[in-house]
Amino acid sequence: MKIQEKIKKNRQKNNWSQDDLAKKLNISRQAISKWETGESIPDVDKLVLMSEIFDITLDELIKGEKPKQPLIVEEKSKKGRTIGDFLYSHWWLFTGMMWYFLSILAQKWT
């Protein structure tokens, strides 16, 4: 579906005349008519405003697609964690402890 068809479809879905939509966008009715006939296309700022007025995303208005759902990554439960996971996530603690014990051993040897 082309942009002009999407504009007209969404306008009609809301039961608005071209004049109603033009008033909401603060433009002339003739501009709406030209968009719907394909004689011209709206500026980006008008596309953004139309997407807000129609309560749809820009993707839906321009491409006709609903946005893809974001990828949701599930966290590992704490029950399924291994000792390796624990050591990996707390490396800084064990490194500090190692240096502390090595300094104690070095003092005993000197």
DSSP 8-state code for residue 71 = P
Judge whether residue 49 has pLDDT over 80: yes
Name residues whose C-beta falls within 8 Å of residue 64's C-beta, 6 or more positions apart in sequence. Answer: 1, 6
Q: Which DSSP helix (H) or strand (E) runs through 82?
A: none
Architecture field, domain 3-62:
Orthogonal Bundle (1.10)
Left (φ > 0), alpha (ψ -120 to 50) or beta: where does 70 sit? Answer: beta
Q: Which residue has the tokens 């030209």?
A: 34
What's the pLDDT tens digit per position in 55-75?
A: 998 888 888 777 666 656 566
What residue segments make up the domains of the chain, in order of their start?
A: 3-62, 81-109
